[in-house]
Amino acid sequence: MSLIRPLFVAWLGVCLASSTLPAHALEIGETAPNVELLGPNGETVRLPLQTGKVLYVDFWASWCGPCRQSFPWMNAMQDKYKAKGLQIIGINLDQQMSAADQFLAKTPAKFTVMFDPKGVSPRLYGVKGMPTSVLIGRDGKVIQQHAGFNDASRDQLEQRLQAALAGSQ
């Protein structure tokens, strides 16, 4: 009897964990999935944008502490590399856009912000935590996926941006 309970708890944990796994695990070199989002003015926008630019797509939510830390870095990267062909897109996953608006009032974005209140894009892009970023090359193929954000990851992420912009990812 004493062994049954721990086994049941372990089995239940596996079942619950597997039910929250993303529907699709994104592979490096794979074409980035198309998804419809709401643009900053409520218009429908299809991602990835066919711009020939390097896209840094960041999935975030208003309640995410590391997301708040990543915004100044993304603003700096957008300013620094925009002329070289970088476009940063932040995809907000809050169900209520008002939560995102409050976040953005305190932590402004110098990059494009889109909204996915239905949560379709994180399943297509294999988002496992907040924030998650996906680097997409000029050819529309996935170069890198990265979960989390902290001081230690800044240099590595910038090096990947530089390599993608140089075409040597």
CATH number for 133: 3.40.30.10
* Alpha helices for 47-113 (secondary structure H): 65-81, 97-106
User: For the chain, what is the mean pLDDT?
Assistant: 86
pLDDT category at 26 given cuts 50, 70, 90 is confident
CA dihedral defined by 134, 127, 117, 112, rounded to 10 degrees?
-10
User: Which domain, by its residues, includes 143?
Assistant: 23-166
Does 17 reside within a domain? no
Does 108 reside within a domain? yes
Mapped onto helix, strand or coil, the DSSP state of residue 6 is: helix
For the chain, the domain total comes to 1
- The model carries a pTM of 0.83
Q: In this model, does residue 49 exceed pLDDT 80?
A: no
> Residue 16 carries which side chain, given as an amino acid letter?
L
The pLDDT tens digits of the residues spanning 102-150 come to 999 999 999 999 999 889 999 999 998 999 999 999 999 999 999 999 9
The pLDDT tens digits of the residues spanning 76-86 come to 999 999 999 99
Q: Going by DSSP bridges, is the β-strand pair 112-115/142-147 parallel, antiparallel, or unpaired? A: unpaired
